[in-house]
Amino acid sequence: MRQWQANEFGWWYLLRYVRGERFSLHMADLNAAGSLYVLGGLIGATRAVTDRPRRLLWLAALIVILPAGWLTGSRTAALAALVAGIVVFPFAVWRVRVARPRAAVAAAVVLVILLAALSTGRAEERGSAGMSLRLRSAFLQTSARMWASAPIFGVGVGRYHERSAQFMPDELRAIYPHENAHNYFVQQFAELGLVGGIAFLWLVAASLIAGWRIVRAGPVDGILVGLFAGTLGYLITCVPGHPLLVPEAALPFWGALGSVAAAGASERSTPNVTTRRALAAIIPVLLMASVGLHAVRYVRPVSPPTDRGFHELDMAEDGSPFRWMTRHGVTHVGPERGILTVPVRAPAFLDRARPWVVEVAVGGWVVDRREVPSDRWVSITIPVRQRAFRPFRRIDLRANQVWSASRDRGKPRDDRPMSVMVGEIRWDAVGR
């Protein structure tokens, strides 16, 4: 509503996506926002069917959610809402014992979801559907290579993004310097291996099965049906996306899935004593093996870690190559003793009273902190007198503030966080 007001309440506002614009005011990840609307929308649609005293309130909530979901332009969210609605709603109408007026409301809700899905699928950018399929195929190839490098325990929690460049095909690397898997289930197997991936699948499947048993047993509360439909639709969006990586979109889902699992859990179900003893013996062994393997890989990595916290290479007005840094950038140099040189410069087009300050840490220890001017390059030179015990030495750069092109330069489509300009980092070894 706030954004609509900013556009003078024009009816053309809803045509933004038709013209190639996707939009979400409260969440930067548009597909994650679409997944969240699927969760809330299906819960609201179910309650509009089953909660007669408050039906108008639920329908009013749907009227607000539908245009917001439309503006995200998420075809995956529209398809997930359609599939989950078709699977759950007819069954729910039968089990909840809905009268004819409620059945009519249910049919209207399914029709609205269908129309939303069809219209969203029609509004595509130039070649976006075909391009999306090609990119998803390349991401699957990336994930398969990453999983093959560590099939049992994976590459580590949260490390897919930073290590993705090592496994990307050339076509994908030319577009993304680093990226997530665009498939949350696949990303779990890449990051956590077979052990963590299978455990994650069990958690999700066991929760849904428990809820489905209650829905099938009927008659059931419409709230449970709505939660089941919403979580099912949300999980469908996790197949071509990764909404669970966005905290604002993940926390509501886990709350809903936990409610579904708790409602479907049997009060008399207790774990077998033999099973508990076996788990008590296996889990410590797996933990020790995982810690040992990661300790070996930490001391003797098979490849140099990739840089993170930097945007693509750019060229300054004086011809110097540089990269815009986010608030925190990480790079690595050799293990020998040597001299580290980091050229930095603050953005000249921002008029801020607060000075730009960059902090440099070598191997986790802060060794320099200084103010960075905007009218010239400054080289931070740091002598390192001790040899690292690992094949690579970690360098951390941290800035005290950030800016974005959407907020500070009037470019609405570029909301990437940026701080200072970082030139070519040089490492001059002086000994072995």
Residue 341 and residue 425 in contact, taking contact as beta carbons nearer than 8 Å:
yes
123: pLDDT confidence band, cut at 50, 70 and 90?
very low
C-alpha distance from residue 231 to each of 57, 103, 182, 215, 253 (Å): 22, 22, 19, 14, 7
Task: Identify how many contiguous H helices and E strands the chain contains and give both numbers.
Answer: 13, 9
Q: What is the Cα–Cα distance from 279 to 319, expressed in whole angstroms? A: 61
68 Cβ contact partners less than 8 Å away, ≥ 6 residues apart:
24, 33, 37
| Distance from chain centroid for Cα 42 | 22
- Residue 419 is encoded by which pair of tokens? 């701080």
Is residue 219 reached through a cis peptide bond, with omega within 30 degrees of 0 on the bond before it? yes
C-alpha distance from residue 246 to each of 71, 143, 300, 418 (Å): 19, 20, 32, 20
- Strands in 301-385 per DSSP E: 308-315, 321-333, 338-345, 356-362, 365-372, 378-384
pLDDT at 413 over 70: yes
pLDDT at 124 over 50: no
CA geometry: angle at 174 spanning 168 and 175, to 5°? Answer: 95
Residue 358 and residue 378 in contact, taking contact as beta carbons nearer than 8 Å:
no
pLDDT at 122 over 50: no
pLDDT at 250 over 60: yes
* 274 against 327, higher pLDDT: 327
The per-residue DSSP string of 71-85 comes to: HHT-HHHHHHHHHHH
* 267 against 300, higher pLDDT: 300
pLDDT given for residue 301 in this prediction: 74
Give residue-wise pLDDT tens across range 340-394.
Answer: 999 999 998 888 888 999 999 998 889 999 999 999 999 999 999 988 888 889 8
- Residue 164 is encoded by which pair of tokens? 């993705």
Beta bridge partners of 340: 382, 427
- Residue 25 is encoded by which pair of tokens? 């005011």
pLDDT at 321 over 80: yes
Give residue-wise pLDDT tens across range 28-71.
Answer: 888 999 999 999 998 888 888 778 888 889 888 888 888 888 88
pLDDT given for residue 173 in this prediction: 78
Which of the residue ranges 52-56, 157-161, 209-213, 406-410 would you say has the lowest mean pLDDT? 406-410
Segment 158-176 shows an average pLDDT of: 85
Percentage of residues in the chain having pLDDT higher than 70: 82
Residue 266 CB: number of other CB atoms within 10 A? Answer: 8
pLDDT at 87 over 90: no
- Closest to 90 measured CA to CA, from 215, 209, 206, 211: 215
